[in-house]
Amino acid sequence: MQEIYNGMSATALPQVTWQKSQRSNSQGNCVEMARLSSDTVAVRNSRHPEGPALIYTRDEIEALVLGAKDGDFDNLFQ
């Protein structure tokens, strides 16, 4: 089994299903996520699907999603 590590080529991840937000625009400017295990999630740039995948723990992704829902990052778009 190949070692999964942060920054590896997204194409090297074994049998994952990439998912992007329904809010993704027509130019494809978004990120995609794939569940690797019950504890890890991979993230890649949808415009460069063969590029690097960043690997995060479930807790890290949950903190990001909940923070976005709470408006913690709204100041980045003002």
73 sits in the region (left: phi over 0; alpha: psi -120 to 50; else beta) called alpha
- Tell me the residue type at 77: F
* Whole-number pLDDT of residue 3: 87
Q: Structure tokens of 71?
A: 């408006």
Q: Which distant-in-sequence residues (6+ apart) come within 8 Å of 62 by Cβ?
A: none
pTM of the model: 0.86
Residues of the chain scoring pLDDT < 70: 1
How far apart are alpha carbons 52 and 38 in whole angstroms?
21
Q: Hey, is 59 helix, strand or coil?
A: helix
Q: So what's the pLDDT on residue 9? A: 95
**Strand pairing report for 31-35 and 54-57:** unpaired
